[in-house]
């Protein structure tokens, strides 16, 4: 949420900042701005709109400025509306900064400052933070940052410049992520590795409470006690091409098509002698022993991956699993002890509510395992154990490949867990692994369904409401299909357990209301077909997604999408591609910006 970047040392930092902001734009696109030293002054250029608007403004108003040190920001508005004044960077006295996060006690701090006669010009919590730091500043930047941050409550990642300390950026964070690197082009820091990857594949994560001082020659990190700290260097396995569109109109389509590769990268290293194996991840089997309940917690799409995980773990391990929305779970005084295994799932590894749920579980003595895509992210670092998904960078706000690989890791957990506690034999586990690898071929095959789904999508663009129906695994998958559709097409949609519809919601089914029914599970196939009959006889326009073996009465639906042959247990991997395509083509047909849907940002680092 909000993209931030700081860069010192390059010849034209304005250009470097704007290029960096373009890669970070998926984190927020309400407004954008940069501030940089030119001569001995700090100059700020900011505007509502996308980074391209900022680029035009910089070219018009600051094209000739010489600048080798600066900070940049692309905003997802929280406090204060979308306006030039509320855009970042913000300046108070000698302090200019950019911020990712929310300062929760900004009102009390503002009242204190106003008593001293200092008033803000924007409506943002960020300007108040700048004022607090300036108020604490008497010539020692690190002392001022330390004193000021002790007063701040909430989440923040700040990049700060002091007008009397040229060519230097200070950074500090709590909650919100910051990654940094020193390269032959100077020092660079950002909220996400995608802004650094064109300079380097090696980076460190700034720890909470540490302060980084960045100049063109070096980055010095100091811990809470002011001692110099040598950060752990991480390496990414993907390169700059992975973070580019590569000829596709949208990242989302590129990422849908990358799913077979992402699945192979995630599954293959965890098959040893044909069996599921986490030893290369250093995940000890002890984590699966003496567990009497499992809680899976996550947000949005990651939570939907958890729903599938619950089904698989309960089915194979016969241990109760609950799936909790992280923002609810953390405030419900949840019951956990040392026999509880808490599994968090997160693409970014930085989602504020998921991180808070993890911290709560640790306080209460639960064992913690996370499924995370971004290496070195907060959730990964703070969990007892982590299983990384290997999706590569996911840039589109709508999650696709990250979801599929999360689901694959949940399957692997179910298989390994069941094997360890003796619920399945080695030969059964090996069969499951073979089936899972075969499923990757089916995912590859279903990618060719694009034109079929595109034609069907054209019939959905005028709909006001669309319903998804499923039972069991298909219901869990429908939740994700519905979220994907509403997120990028702005059409209201709901996913329903097919048997539940007649307990109220069926009153909304009238002539031509689209219903997408997912029916891949043989054990409940006849039941969902009856539910489809119920909506059909009330006039619904039915799109039916079935397994290859299903024989369907043609009068039952307007369109049938028959999936490539797959074992039903693995059908979610294949069916999800159809639902992703459906959302994608409806949004494209409506002329919407698929990768940057309104009001959303990729990484939600505030509550
Ligand atoms: O980074 P995370 O996986 O923790 O993010 C959780 C959700 O914000 C995310 O899955 C969101 O729902 C997706 N953008 C939806 O496509």
Which atom of ligand 1 is closest in space to residue 300's alpha carbon?
12
Mean pLDDT score, 540-546: 97
Judged against a pLDDT cut of 80, whether residue 607 lies above it is answered with no
Q: How far apart, in whole angstroms, are the C-alpha atoms of residue 490 and residue 464?
A: 9
Protein residues with CB under 6 Å of any ligand 1 atom: 299-302, 346-348, 351, 354, 397-399, 483, 487, 603-604
CB 295 within 8 A of CB 340: yes
For 145-172, what is each residue's pLDDT tens digit?
999 999 999 999 999 999 999 999 999 9
Judged against a pLDDT cut of 80, whether residue 521 lies above it is answered with yes
Which residues 6+ apart lie within 8 Å of 36 measured at CB? Answer: 13, 14, 17, 42, 43, 65, 67, 69, 70, 71
Which atom of ligand 1 is closest in space to residue 406's alpha carbon?
3
Residue recorded with tokens 């002011």: 226
Task: Output the pLDDT for position 4.
Answer: 95
For 419-436, what is each residue's pLDDT tens digit?
999 999 999 999 999 999
Average pLDDT of the residues of the chain: 95
Which residues 6+ apart lie within 8 Å of 265 measured at CB? Answer: 390, 391, 392, 405
Question: What is the bridge-based pairing of β-strands 385-388 and 367-372?
Answer: parallel
Residues identified as active-site: 2, 602
Check residue 27 and report its DSSP letter: G
Confidence of residue 452 (pLDDT cuts 50, 70, 90): very high
Ligand 1: which residue has its CA nearest to atom 10?
301
CA of 604 to the centre of ligand 1 (A): 8
Share of the chain above pLDDT 90, in %: 88
Token reading at 185: 């082009």
CA of 426 to the centre of ligand 1 (A): 35
Which of 399, 403, 583, 604 is the pocket-test mutation for ligand 1 (most atoms within 8 Å of CB)?
399
CB 325 within 8 A of CB 304: no
Which atom of ligand 1 is closest in space to residue 398's alpha carbon?
16
Which atom of ligand 1 is closest in space to residue 397's alpha carbon?
14
Mean pLDDT score, 337-358: 95
Confidence of residue 243 (pLDDT cuts 50, 70, 90): confident
Q: How far apart, in whole angstroms, are the C-alpha atoms of residue 35 and residue 516?
A: 49
Task: Output the pLDDT for position 78.
Answer: 84
Which residues 6+ apart lie within 8 Å of 69 measured at CB? Answer: 7, 8, 9, 13, 36, 37, 161, 166, 167, 168, 169, 216
Residue recorded with tokens 């690190």: 142
More confident residue, 280 or 64: 280
CA of 214 to the centre of ligand 1 (A): 31
Mean pLDDT score, 323-349: 95
Judged against a pLDDT cut of 90, whether residue 553 lies above it is answered with no
Which atom of ligand 1 is closest in space to residue 399's alpha carbon?
16
Share of the chain above pLDDT 70, in %: 100
Ligand 1: which residue has its CA nearest to atom 16?
398
Task: Output the pLDDT for position 242.
Answer: 79
Judged against a pLDDT cut of 90, whether residue 80 lies above it is answered with no
CA of 330 to the centre of ligand 1 (A): 17
Which of 351, 386, 405 is the pocket-test mutation for ligand 1 (most atoms within 8 Å of CB)?
351
Phi, psi at residue 166, to the nearest 5°?
Answer: -65, 160
Judged against a pLDDT cut of 90, whether residue 345 lies above it is answered with yes
Ligand 1: which residue has its CA nearest to atom 11?
300
Judged against a pLDDT cut of 80, whether residue 16 lies above it is answered with yes
CB 133 within 8 A of CB 65: no
Mean pLDDT score, 442-464: 97
Comparing CA positions, the residue from 521, 575, 527, 531 lying closest to residue 556 is 531
Task: Output the pLDDT for position 239.
Answer: 79
For 39-73, what is each residue's pLDDT tens digit?
889 999 999 999 999 999 999 998 789 999 999 99
Ligand 1: which residue has its CA nearest to atom 4?
346
Comparing CA positions, the residue from 151, 133, 132, 155 lying closest to residue 142 is 133
Judged against a pLDDT cut of 90, whether residue 236 lies above it is answered with no
Which of 347, 378, 483 is the pocket-test mutation for ligand 1 (most atoms within 8 Å of CB)?
347
For 363-392, what is each residue's pLDDT tens digit?
999 999 999 999 888 899 999 999 999 999
Confidence of residue 603 (pLDDT cuts 50, 70, 90): confident
CA of 466 to the centre of ligand 1 (A): 21
Q: What angle do CA 79, 81, 82 make, to 5 degrees?
A: 120
Ligand 1: which residue has its CA nearest to atom 7?
300
Judged against a pLDDT cut of 80, whether residue 606 lies above it is answered with no
Task: Output the pLDDT for position 403.
Answer: 98
Ligand 1: which residue has its CA nearest to atom 14?
398
Confidence of residue 538 (pLDDT cuts 50, 70, 90): very high
Task: Output the pLDDT for position 499.
Answer: 93
CA of 400 to the centre of ligand 1 (A): 10
Q: Could you check whether the bond before residue 438 is cis, i.e. omega within 30 degrees of 0?
A: no
CA of 299 to the centre of ligand 1 (A): 6
For 108-135, what is each residue's pLDDT tens digit?
999 999 999 999 999 999 999 999 999 9
Mean pLDDT score, 539-545: 96
Q: How far apart, in whole angstroms, are the C-alpha atoms of residue 245 and residue 257?
A: 12
Confidence of residue 212 (pLDDT cuts 50, 70, 90): very high
Judged against a pLDDT cut of 80, whether residue 605 lies above it is answered with no
Which atom of ligand 1 is closest in space to residue 301's alpha carbon?
10
Confidence of residue 10 (pLDDT cuts 50, 70, 90): confident
Which of 301, 325, 583 is the pocket-test mutation for ligand 1 (most atoms within 8 Å of CB)?
301
Which atom of ligand 1 is closest in space to residue 379's alpha carbon?
4
CA of 80 to the centre of ligand 1 (A): 24
CB 454 within 8 A of CB 549: no
- From residue 31, alpha-carbon distances to 2, 27, 421 in Å are 10, 11, 53
């Amino acid at each position: 949420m909000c993209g931030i970047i700081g860069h010192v040392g390059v010849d034209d930092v304005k250009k470097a900042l704007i290029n960096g902001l373009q890669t970070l734009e998926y984190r927020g696109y309400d407004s954008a701005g940069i501030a940089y030293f030119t001569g001995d002054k700090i100059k700020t250029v900011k505007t509502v709109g996308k980074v391209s608007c900022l680029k035009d403004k910089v070219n018009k108003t600051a094209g000739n400025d010489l600048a080798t040190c600066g900070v940049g920001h692309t905003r997802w508005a929280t406090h204060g509306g979308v306006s030039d004044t509320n855009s970042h960077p913000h300046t108070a006295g000698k302090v200019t900064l950019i911020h990712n996060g929310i300062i929760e006690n900004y009102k009390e701090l503002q009242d204190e400052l106003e008593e001293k006669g200092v008033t803000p010009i924007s409506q943002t919590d960020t300007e108040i933070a700048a004022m607090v730091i300036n108020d604490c500043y008497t010539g020692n930047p690190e002392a001022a940052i330390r004193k000021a941050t002790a007063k701040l409550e909430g989440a923040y990642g700040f990049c700060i410049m002091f007008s009397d300390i040229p060519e230097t950026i200070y950074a500090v964070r709590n909650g919100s992520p910051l990654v940094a690197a020193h390269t032959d082009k100077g020092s660079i820091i950002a909220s996400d590795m995608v802004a650094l990857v064109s300079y380097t594949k090696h980076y460190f994560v700034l720890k909470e409470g540490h302060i980084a001082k960045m100049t063109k020659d070096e980055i010095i990190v100091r811990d809470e006690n002011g001692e110099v700290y040598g950060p752990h260097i991480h390496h990414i396995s993907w390169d700059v091409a992975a973070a580019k569109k590569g000829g596709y109109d949208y990242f989302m389509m590129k990422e849908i098509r990358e799913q077979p590769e992402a699945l192979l990268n995630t599954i293959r290293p965890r098959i040893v002698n044909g069996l599921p194996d986490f030893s290369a991840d250093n995940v000890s089997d002890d984590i699966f022993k003496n567990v009497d309940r499992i809680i899976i917690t996550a947000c949005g799409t990651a939570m939907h991956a958890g729903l599938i995980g619950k089904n698989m773990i309960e089915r194979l391990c016969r241990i109760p699993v609950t799936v909790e929305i992280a923002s609810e779970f953390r405030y419900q005084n949840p019951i956990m002890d040392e026999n509880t295994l808490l599994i968090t799932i997160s693409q970014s590894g930085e989602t504020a509510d998921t991180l808070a749920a993890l911290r709560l579980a640790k306080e209460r003595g639960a064992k913690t395992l996370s499924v995370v895509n971004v290496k070195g992210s907060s959730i990964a670092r703070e969990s007892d154990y982590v299983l990384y998904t290997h999706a590569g960078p996911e840039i589109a706000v709508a999650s696709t490949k990250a979801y599929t690989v999360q689901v694959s890791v949940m399957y692997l957990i179910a298989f390994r867990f069941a094997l360890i506690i003796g619920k399945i034999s080695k030969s059964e586990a090996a069969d499951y692994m073979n089936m899972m690898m075969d499923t990757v071929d089916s995912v590859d095959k279903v990618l060719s369904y694009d034109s079929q789904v595109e034609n069907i999508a054209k019939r959905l663009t005028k709909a006001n409401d669309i319903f998804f129906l499923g039972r069991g695994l298909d219901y869990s998958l429908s939740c994700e299909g519905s979220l994907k559709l509403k997120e990028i097409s702005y059409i209201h949609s709901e996913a329903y357990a097919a048997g539940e519809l007649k307990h109220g919601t069926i009153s909304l089914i009238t002539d031509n209301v689209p219903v997408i029914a997912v029916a891949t599970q043989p054990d409940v196939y006849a039941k969902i077909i009856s539910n489809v009959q119920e909506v059909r006889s009330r006039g619904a326009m039915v799109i039916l997604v079935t397994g290859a073996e299903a024989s369907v009465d043609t009068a039952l639906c307007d369109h049938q999408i028959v999936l490539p042959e797959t074992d039903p247990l693995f059908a979610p991997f294949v069916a999800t591609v159809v639902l992703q395509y459906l959302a994608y083509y409806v949004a494209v047909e409506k002329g919407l910006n698929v990768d940057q849907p309104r009001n959303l940002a990729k990484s939600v680092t505030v509550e």
